[in-house]
Amino acid sequence: MSERSKKAKELFKSGYNCSQSVLGVFAQELGMDFETAMKISSSFGGGMGRMREVCGTVSGMFMAAGLMFGPSDNSDPKAKGELYKRIQDLAGRFKAQNGSIICRELLEGVTSSNTPIPSERTDEYYKKRPCVELVGDAVEIFEQYLKETKENSSVESIK
């Protein structure tokens, strides 16, 4: 397990949501202060506002990829397509490792209400949910992707 993955798991265990925990460990290298990263990613926890849609860890990974590789100019459709290809690759890697990118599918068997109020973080919470491990997986998938990207192109990546 990488140091960044360990740090992301610590962030999650300290109360940050899954998306915040992933984006947060890449924030500084992406030129973003931690507080801004936490605010940007705060809505994506629990599968987007606890709706159990796309896993927040995946959303955090996608935000990091967008900040690193995304075009800021809408006049280049090729650049947008290249980013979407990266996102699809990252999603495929996460799905291959975990079976899905959808929060409710990843939490299959976990009883959860539809309330927007987050569940209390107790020992029982962590025993029932794979979220801590998913946080670590997303970070490690993105780190591996960055390593491969750096090896295969001239794109600067996070070390």
| Average pLDDT over every residue of 93-99 | 98
Those residues with Cβ within 8 angstroms of residue 2's Cβ, 6 or more apart along the chain or in another chain? 139, 140, 143
pLDDT digits (tens, 9 = 90+) for 45-55: 999 999 999 99
Within a domain: 100: yes
pLDDT digits (tens, 9 = 90+) for 104-117: 999 988 877 677 88
Minimum mean pLDDT among 57-61, 80-84, 126-130: which range?
Answer: 126-130
Residue-number span of the structural domain to which 67 is assigned: 3-152
Within a domain: 40: yes
Confidence of residue 153 (pLDDT cuts 50, 70, 90): low
Within a domain: 22: yes
| Greater pLDDT, 159 or 146 | 146
pLDDT value of position 109: 81
Within a domain: 157: no
- Which three-class secondary structure string do you get for 86-144? HHHHHHHHHHHHHCCCEHHHHCCCCCCCCCCCCCCCCHHHHHHCCHHHHHHHHHHHHHH
pLDDT value of position 158: 42
Within a domain: 159: no
| Average pLDDT over every residue of 22-38 | 97
Confidence of residue 152 (pLDDT cuts 50, 70, 90): confident
Within a domain: 158: no
Within a domain: 144: yes
Domains identified in the chain, total number? 1
Sign of CA dihedral 35, 59, 158, 71: negative
Within a domain: 11: yes
pLDDT value of position 66: 96
pLDDT digits (tens, 9 = 90+) for 114-141: 778 888 888 888 788 899 999 999 999 9
pLDDT value of position 159: 35
pTM: 0.90
The pLDDT of residue 26 is above 80: yes
